[in-house]
Copies of this chain bind each other. A is one copy, B any other.
Amino acid sequence: AHLTSTLSFSLKGVVLDMCGVLYDSGEGDGVSPSVEALKASDLQLRFCTNETQATREKFVAKLQRLGFDICVSEVFSPAPAAVAVLKERGLKPHLLVYDVLPEFDSVDKTNPNCVVIGDAAEKFSYQNLNEAFRVLINLEKPVLFSLGQGRYYKETDGLKLDVGVYMKALEYACDLKAEVIGKPSPMFFQSVLNDMGLQPSETLMIGDDLVNDVGGAQHCGMKGIQVRTGKYRSPATSFFTPPDLFI
């Protein structure tokens, strides 16, 4: 309530990062700005994550079990953002994704004229990557979308190569530059703004990541707030661009 009254002079919408803000992926309980207070206000509210290992349905169900008042249509993750971009540009994708495949149900995939890669993991076989390559190399104007650009992530059995690695592989093979979908890509924040029907200057992003959340939002003209939770570390060591506000 304090937050909204402080900034409400021009504020019409709030975008919340999820991991590290709504809940903590590390040890301890999650921490959360007052989602209930925000919902009770006149502000529009959206949630924003780079999660690409699960459909929004699964992801939201988990958060609902944790007690959050949240629904699928309020959540923005790279896969549905990609769907919006594909439809807007009339592109038909060849998909190399796995868990998020159902997110693309509504998309025309016949005669593909672009490639989308994501959380394929084990499906990044030589054959599948070669297939995606052949689609791209045969296009007059090859377009590659990557759901994130991570190098690797940690699972219980050890480190695993992330989608960014295969993005670089296809970029080299086809001599092109991929379009990355997800924070801090402006395209990603814009899709959230479009959904709210708001201008960047009317919108506030709250996150724990200075580059992906605060920097990405500020780059789009939104206000950025860094919460001192999640991956936040003390200012002396953690940041180089001042966020608009701490909470």
B-binding residues in A (CB < 8 A): 120-127, 129-130, 133-134, 137, 151-152, 158-161, 164-166, 168-175
**Chain B proximity of A149: nearest CB distance (Å):** 9
What would be 19 A-B contacts, judged by CB atoms less than 8 Å apart? A121-B126, A124-B126, A124-B129, A125-B125, A130-B159, A130-B160, A130-B161, A133-B152, A133-B161, A133-B165, A134-B159, A151-B175, A161-B169, A161-B173, A164-B172, A165-B169, A165-B172, A165-B173, A168-B168
| A152 and B137 form a contact (CB under 8 A) | yes
CB contact between A171 and one of B124, B159, B168 (< 8 Å): that residue? B168
Contact partners of A175 in chain B: CB under 8 A: 151
**Across the two chains, which residue of chain B brings its CB closest to A164?**
B172
| Copies per complex of this chain | 2
CB < 8 Å neighbour of A152 from B125, B127, B160, B173: B173
Q: How near does chain B come to A223, taking the closest CB pair, in angstroms?
A: 32
Q: Which residues of B contact A159 (CB under 8 A)?
A: 130, 133-134, 137
Query: A125-B125, A137-B159, A159-B137 known; A151 and B130 CB under 8 Å?
Result: no
Contact of A123 among B126, B161, B164, B166 (CB under 8 A): B126
- B residues less than 8 Å from A161 (CB atoms): 126, 129-130, 133, 169, 173
Chain B residues with CB under 8 Å of A127's CB are 122
- Please tell me if the beta carbons of A172 and B151 are within 8 angstroms of each other in the complex: yes
| Inter-subunit contact B151/A173 (CB<8 Å) | yes
Distance between A186 CB and nearest chain B CB, rounded to angstroms: 22
Q: How far apart are the CA atoms of A171 and B126 in the complex, in Å?
A: 18
C-alpha spacing A128/B126, complex, angstroms: 10
The residues of B that contact A166 with a CB separation of less than 8 Å are 169
Chain A to chain B: the 9 pairs with minimum beta-carbon distance, closest first:
A168-B172, A169-B169, A124-B126, A165-B173, A165-B169, A122-B126, A168-B168, A151-B173, A130-B161
